[in-house]
Amino acid sequence: MREKGLRKEAFKSLDKFLKSSKDWSFDMKIEFVRFLFHYFENVEDADYGPFPQPLNVDLVKPALEEWCSTEQKDHNPFRWYGKYYHSEKHIFKALEVNPADDLARQILLGWWANRINYSIHHLPEFYIGDPIEDIQLEEKIREQIKQLSSPDLRDYWTKEIDEDSELVKNYFDFKNSGHNDFEKWGKENNKQTGYSLTRSYYYEK
């Protein structure tokens, strides 16, 4: 119904479903949450349509909160709560329960890498944030990369952070140089200064 543009009718059906779930046992709620997130993690963009706000707030979040409050061995609910309710605390708990949970570790890496990317995405015009803090965050990212169980994932994330860390360090060096124009400094020192769809590099002729 939603795909046909019948949003009101779709949410009426969802409301009936949610009312019926009030009578579910805790185990039934866990079973549903497992089904839902397994689907999300195995079908690209699957969480875009089948995770409307009422389902999220009225059923899934309370079920996950109750599950996480008692779970000791299963890392999955902590990863799911961490990802969908943006809680680093829960991601770290998932990794504590299962250090080999590469999905959880990549969520953390994605969040941290995005922070650095946000700082540099307006260069060479201006830097958002503090390059020292970003350098420290980069060190934390590299420690997490080392703990990924897949060599392919380690290579992927290393390349991802290498590109942005180069810009951060270049800007840090520029600030310490006393130069007043980052782009000119880049040309003079053959350093990258821009971050855009096409990265800007300067080379000696």
% the chain with pLDDT above 90: 81
The answer, yes or no, to whether residue 23 has pLDDT greater than 70, is yes
- Residue 129, amino acid: G
State the pLDDT at residue 203. Answer: 34
CA dihedral 47, 48, 51, 56 (to 10 degrees): 90
Residues 7 and 91 in one domain: yes
- Closest to 129 (Cα-Cα) out of 178, 179, 164, 77: 164
Residues 80 and 130 in one domain: no
Residues 77 and 142 in one domain: no
Residues 4 and 92 in one domain: yes
State the pLDDT at residue 5. Answer: 83
Q: Which of 56, 83, 98 is a domain's end point? A: 98
The answer, yes or no, to whether residue 204 has pLDDT greater than 50, is no
- Compute the distance between CA of residue 77 and CA of residue 93 in angstroms, rounded to an integer: 10
Residues 160 and 66 in one domain: no
Residues 74 and 104 in one domain: no
State the pLDDT at residue 201. Answer: 39
- Compute the distance between CA of residue 142 and CA of residue 190 in angstroms, rounded to an integer: 26
Domain that holds residue 132: 100-205
Write down the pTM of the prediction.
0.86
pLDDT category, 202, cuts 50, 70, 90? very low
Residues 109 and 204 in one domain: yes
- Compute the distance between CA of residue 177 and CA of residue 172 in angstroms, rounded to an integer: 9
Residues 105 and 54 in one domain: no
Instruction: Give per-residue pLDDT as tens, 116-159.
Output: 999 999 999 999 999 999 999 999 999 999 999 999 999 999 99
State the pLDDT at residue 152. Answer: 96
Residues 94 and 115 in one domain: no
Residues 205 and 107 in one domain: yes
Residues 82 and 122 in one domain: no
How many domains is the chain partitioned into structurally? 2
